[in-house]
Amino acid sequence: GESVGLHLPTLSVQEGDNSIINCAYSNSASDYFIWYKQESGKGPQFIIDIRSNMDKRQGQRVTVLLNKTVKHLSLQIAATQPGDSAVYFCAENRANQAGTALIFGKGTTLSVSS
Amino acid sequence: EPEVTQTPSHQVTQMGQEVILRCVPISNHLYFYWYRQILGQKVEFLVSFYNNEISEKSEIFDDQFSVERPDGSNFTLKIRSTKLEDSAMYFCAGMTGVGTGELFFGEGSRLTVL
């Protein structure tokens, strides 16, 4: 069965707004999570990751929150820009087992209008 | 910045033909992966490869698929007898295996089976 999924297939925001993209996972053994951004016609690009011993991690304009109690992951993008328009995937893995599959969710398409 | 290179960018083939997709991973990567993405859908794991053997494979990766790294550089995915449903973007990815579990993806090879 599917291990990782997203709540909404699409999200439309205005430039400058904050965006929140959500993801639910079901595999309790997962201990490493990544957000990827995929622009049209390109491969997924790493945005930010978080290990299960953390509940929050911040990058440049992005924050990932992990709630292990309800198996929920979110990506917050501050001051969203048109260049943020893309499909966003959460993915999970077992960080201590390199070579194992990184499992992707279905993706949320973020549309940013100016 | 080093990158994962994939060829061809697009291949059109007839059903039943053999196809080989090629990837040149980043030089310090030790773990290699193939993923596929059917148009508009999520990124699906096919196979992972380490130390010249398959580490893990999904149910998609049946007997029609094979991978090899014959010269220590190129990492190839072969589909022996293509089917219409093999039409997809195929992404190669690599990982160092040290520290984070971040996968670095190539730009993909689009396979169209007629």
Per-residue pLDDT tens over the stretch B66-91: 999 988 789 999 999 999 999 999 99
Confidence bin at A25 (pLDDT 50/70/90): confident
Using the beta-carbon criterion (under 8 Å), do B43 and A44 form an inter-chain contact?
yes
* Residue B102: band (very low, low, confident or very high) from pLDDT cuts 50, 70, 90: confident
Is B27 or B58 the better-scoring residue by pLDDT?
A: B58
Residue B100 has pLDDT above 70, yes or no: no
Which pLDDT value is given to residue B101?
73
Using an 8 Å Cβ cutoff, are A25 and A73 in contact?
A: yes
Half-sphere exposure for A84 (CA within 13 Å, toward CB):
28
Q: Is B3 in CB contact (< 8 Å) with chain A?
A: no
Nearest-by-CA chain A residue for B94: A99
- Among A44, A99, A106, select the one facing B55 at the smallest CB separation: A99
Chain B nearest-CA distance from A71, in A, is 19
Q: What is residue A7's predicted lDDT score, i.e. its pLDDT?
A: 63
Q: Does B103 touch chain A (CB under 8 A)?
A: yes
**Nearest 5 degrees, angle CA B63-CA A103-CA B103?**
95
Confidence of residue A1 (pLDDT cuts 50, 70, 90): very low
A 10 A CB-CB count for A12 gives: 12
